[in-house]
């Protein structure tokens, strides 16, 4: 598991700035400076970005993810006006929860919808939501949210489905001939799961495949797998230009989300590495590189470093 945090390192030119914040300015936006008496200073501004966990080179955030995101169907409104249930099979490589069923609509349904989450064989309805009307603009993605998130197991097939009393569903023919993935979430290729893109004529569990058609039924998934957090303290140390080589700038603390101890290593990595050699890591401390140029030569510049935790 790899976790990255990016830190912005901004050094100030040799003046003691008086900082003024315009009314209504948002946090972390640049401040206006007015010059005063001379003084060489360097300010380390640490910006904690949303952490991207890398597994096999694929970034994953801690918010919910969906398979199809904002993809638009090739056929927004199918000519079929009969009551139909549409489904898409999916799985996740990690354990997690499903908070919503998402589905694309190109036409409104006067009779509303019923969205459901099924086990692979349809023997169990894990959750169901009845909607009297659309949750958002049409055409567009609609969201049916469960009363509480539903837990799913890793590497297990489930079916996300919705019932459209007026038909007119959205689809893309042959859209699931190949697996579609986003992070740990996948809608497998039809050939892998005995057909994907399934429907049922009426209100029921969809089992009938149709030409690997993507019916654009999706889920909002949140992983419950443990992840790494990086905290840098202090977040805004002030570093004089005369700071000796080897001095500690900040302490880097890494923890697992489930409380397990971090026993891995810290290093610098792309895209920013170690600020042109000015900084180094000594254990869990960010320091002025004993073999580097020191703070002074970098005066007046803005640098970025990327700290990587690996276990």
pLDDT number for residue 52? 26
pLDDT number for residue 110? 95
Percent of the chain at pLDDT above 90?
57
Burial (CB count within 10 angstroms: exposed 0-12, middle 13-18, buried 19+), residue 283: exposed
- Evaluate if residue 245 carries a pLDDT over 60: yes
- Evaluate if residue 1 carries a pLDDT over 90: no
Q: pLDDT for 76-92, tens place per residue?
A: 999 999 999 999 999 99
- Evaluate if residue 60 carries a pLDDT over 50: no
* Cα–Cα distance for residue pair 287/223, rounded to 1 Å: 35
pLDDT number for residue 75? 97
In sequence order, what are the residues at sequence separation of 6 or more whose Cβ sits closer than 8 angstroms to the Cβ of residue 169? 78, 80, 84, 86, 105, 215
* Cα–Cα distance for residue pair 120/191, rounded to 1 Å: 15
- Evaluate if residue 278 carries a pLDDT over 60: yes
- Evaluate if residue 246 carries a pLDDT over 90: yes
* Cα–Cα distance for residue pair 223/20, rounded to 1 Å: 42
Q: pLDDT for 137-195, tens place per residue?
A: 999 999 999 999 999 999 999 999 999 999 999 999 999 999 999 989 999 999 999 99
- Evaluate if residue 25 carries a pLDDT over 70: no
Q: Is 108 left (phi over 0), alpha (psi -120 to 50) or beta?
A: beta
Domains of the chain, by residue range, sit at 2-59+227-310, 63-223
* Residue 38 backbone dihedrals phi, psi, to 5 degrees: -65, 140
- If you ran DSSP here, which 8-state letter would residue 31 be given? P
pLDDT number for residue 3? 58
pLDDT number for residue 299? 56
In degrees, rounded to 5, the angle at the alpha carbon of residue 14 between the alpha carbons of residues 12 and 16 is: 80
Into which CATH architecture does domain 63-223 fall?
Answer: Sandwich (2.60)
* Cα–Cα distance for residue pair 308/230, rounded to 1 Å: 9
> Quick one: which of 130, 125, 137 has its CA closest to 164?
130
């Amino acid at each position: 598991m790899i976790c990255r945090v990016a830190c912005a390192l901004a050094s100030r030119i040799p003046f003691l700035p008086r900082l003024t914040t315009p009314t209504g300015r948002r946090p972390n936006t640049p401040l206006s400076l007015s010059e005063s008496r001379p003084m060489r200073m360097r300010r380390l501004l640490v910006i904690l970005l949303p952490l991207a966990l890398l597994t096999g080179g694929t970034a994953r955030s801690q918010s919910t993810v969906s398979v199809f995101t904002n993809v638009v169907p090739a056929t927004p409104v199918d000519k079929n006006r009969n009551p139909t249930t549409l489904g898409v099979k999916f799985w996740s490589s990690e354990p997690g929860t499903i908070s919503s069923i998402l589905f694309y609509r190109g036409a409104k349904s006067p009779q509303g919808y019923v969205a459901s989450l099924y086990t692979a064989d349809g023997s169990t309805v894990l959750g169901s939501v009845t909607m009297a009307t659309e949750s958002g603009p049409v055409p567009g993605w609609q969201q049916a949210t469960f009363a509480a998130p539903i837990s799913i197991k890793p590497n297990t097939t489930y079916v996300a489905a919705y019932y459209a009393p007026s038909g007119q569903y959205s689809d893309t023919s042959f859209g699931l001939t190949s697996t579609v993935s986003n992070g740990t979430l996948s809608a497998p290729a039809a050939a892998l799961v005995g057909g994907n893109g399934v429907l049922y004529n009426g209100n029921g569990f969809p089992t009938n495949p149709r030409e690997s058609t993507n019916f654009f039924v999706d889920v909002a998934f949140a992983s419950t797998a443990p992840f790494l957090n990086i905290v840098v303290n202090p977040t805004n140390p002030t570093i004089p230009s005369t700071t000796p080589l080897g001095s500690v700038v900040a302490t880097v603390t890494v923890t697992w989300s489930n409380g397990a101890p971090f026993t891995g290593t810290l290093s610098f990595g792309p895209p920013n590495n170690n600020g042109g050699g000015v900084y180094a890591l000594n254990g869990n401390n960010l320091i002025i590189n004993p073999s580097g140029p020191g703070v002074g030569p970098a005066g007046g510049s803005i640098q970025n470093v990327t700290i990587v935790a690996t276990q």
